[in-house]
Amino acid sequence: MKHLTHALAALLLAGCVFPAAAQEAQTNLPRVTLSAGIHQIDAQVAQTPEQREIGLMYRAEMPQHEGMLFIFEQPSEQCFWMRNTLLPLTAAFIADDGTVVNLADMKPKTLDSHCSAKPVRYVLEMNQGWFARKGIKPGFRLNGSSFKR
């Protein structure tokens, strides 16, 4: 019984410690510079399944010129939701050549699904309203070394 009590106590302690560590924003990802006409974007790159899963979760703020570029191995329908994401964001679903396929405004802390209108390899998340303020709509082409020409 004593061993069971110690094992249960260890599990409870682990449950308290590990979720706290998992709730940290990832801020040390590689970066790439993208351009949207005259506007420069400093984008962190999330390309592993683990990096993409965490994305911009747990961030309390993000500078206006920064975003996160999600890169997938191959084009497919990409769907995003905002669980544990504190910032209102807009997702740009982007074709291989950098063309914006569609945009989706996403509310913080929701499980609403926001999907690409067709298969894409890239998704760029920026602060909500950034694309609208820059006049970027579906059909606009972004430039950067990540996109194929």
Q: Using CA atoms, how far apart are residues 71 and 45, in angstroms rounded to an integer?
A: 7
CB atoms within 10 A of CB 121: 20
Q: 3-class SS at 41?
A: strand
pLDDT band at 22 (very low <50, low <70, confident <90, very high): low
Q: Where are the domains of the chain?
A: 25-133
The kind and range of the H/E element at 106 are strand 100-106
Q: Are strands 66-76 and 39-46 parallel, antiparallel or unpaired?
A: parallel
**pLDDT tier at 5, thresholds 50, 70, 90:** very low
Amino acid found at 4: L
> pLDDT confidence of 9, banded at 50, 70, 90?
very low
Over range 118-146, report the average pLDDT. Answer: 97
Q: Output 107 or 3, whichever has higher pLDDT.
A: 107
Q: Could you read off the pLDDT of 49-101 as tens digits, one per residue?
A: 999 999 999 999 999 999 999 999 999 999 999 999 999 999 999 999 999 99
Taking 70 as the threshold, does the pLDDT of residue 12 lie above it? no
11-45 burial string, b = 16+ CB within 10 Å, else e? eeeeeeeeeeeeeebbeebeeeebebeeeebebbe
The CATH homologous superfamily for domain 25-133 is Protein of unknown function DUF192 (2.60.120.1140)
